[in-house]
Amino acid sequence: MQIKNLCHFFITLLIFITLNSNLYALSWTTQRITNNGVLDNFPAVYGDYVAYHGKEDGNQEIYLYEISTGITTQLTHTQLGAAYEPAIYGDYVAWYASGGPYTGNTAIYLYNMQSHNTSQITGTTYTDNNPTLHGNYLAWTEAGYGTYDVYIYNITTGETTPITDDFINDYAPALYDNHLVWQRFEGGDGEIVLYDIDTGISTPITNNSRYDGSPTIYGDYIAWEGGGEIFLYNIVTGETTRVTNNSSGDGYPCLYGNYLVWHGILDGDQDIYLYDILTGETYQITDNHVTDTFAAIYGNYIVWQSGDLGNSEIYLAILETDSTVIPEPCSFILLGIAYGVLRLTRRGKIR
């Protein structure tokens, strides 16, 4: 190979390595959102808000925390009842509740942060839970005739549509734009299903002998827990990537952008982990001696519940990226040498 061609190859290789290197450093700061000595659970985050359920007034209620102001608002007052597992997106917070003024079985409720109005979306004849929100849609599962089915509600039109209607249990829906994923449980085995709301077409994502559940979706990616590990599926390419391989009981993944978070046990207790899809880097967000679980992510915010023995609190990590991190100096030295040799070849001094 001529020196000129070798220099071209060398420069191209260095540029490729540089562009595909982790050119930023990821760090985070952590703050405690609740500090009340009672159970605070299942946080969800969107924009400047964190929703969770807690027992500050003695009952299980839904709370909304504003990150920028530190103000907490109690959204429900169930008296003798209980409200659980909030979902949040845009101007809306959804949850399911039972007992007290919410008579009968559990029902799905939707709160508008602009109007401050709460609407009951489902009746109380059956057990409705697992609410999820995205865009103009609210989805949940309902136990109607002995098995669970997935339903979807159009917030604008007020129309409710059953997505599944069979004798198979369908749980844990998750929404992103016009896509809906859930776990289908049949014969002791859980599998992940992808549904296109516009076309009405369902596509099985997994088909194996292990238990797959707790799906999450964002953009072109679906993640789930399978056999105690975390898996990532690219909708466009159809490629599945095993994110964890440690037999540590990894679970409850959540996706946003290029980030995937979950909880796992590596050092004797559950901690929160983050995976960067672009770089393949995994970061341990928490490292303590208590149980950290049920992480959620939106933007540069990660929230989770932390605590043991009947007392869990809500925590927030704020991600920070430093784009000033550059490749090692030797890369620039080699690149400069190659560039200098290339200039000499152009002047005819080296052939």
Q: How many residues does the chain have?
A: 351
Q: Is the predicted pLDDT of residue 99 greater than 70, yes or no?
A: no
Distances (CA, A) of 139 to 71, 94, 113, 215: 28, 10, 19, 14
R_g of the chain, CA atoms, integer Å: 24
φ, ψ (nearest 5 deg) of residue 346: -70, -30
Confidence of residue 17 (pLDDT cuts 50, 70, 90): very low
Q: Is the predicted pLDDT of residue 337 greater than 80, yes or no?
A: no
Distances (CA, A) of 327 to 8, 168, 257: 20, 53, 24
User: Chain-wide mean pLDDT for the chain?
Assistant: 87
Confidence of residue 321 (pLDDT cuts 50, 70, 90): confident
C-alpha dihedral, 62 to 67 to 73 to 78, nearest 10°: 0
pLDDT the model gives residue 346: 54
Q: Is the predicted pLDDT of residue 63 greater than 60, yes or no?
A: yes
Model's pTM, two decimal places? 0.85
Higher pLDDT, 238 or 246: 238
Higher pLDDT, 145 or 46: 46
CA–CA separation, 22 vs 275, rounded Å? 13
Confidence of residue 24 (pLDDT cuts 50, 70, 90): low
Taking alpha carbons only, the member of 316, 292, 319, 296 closest to residue 305 is 292
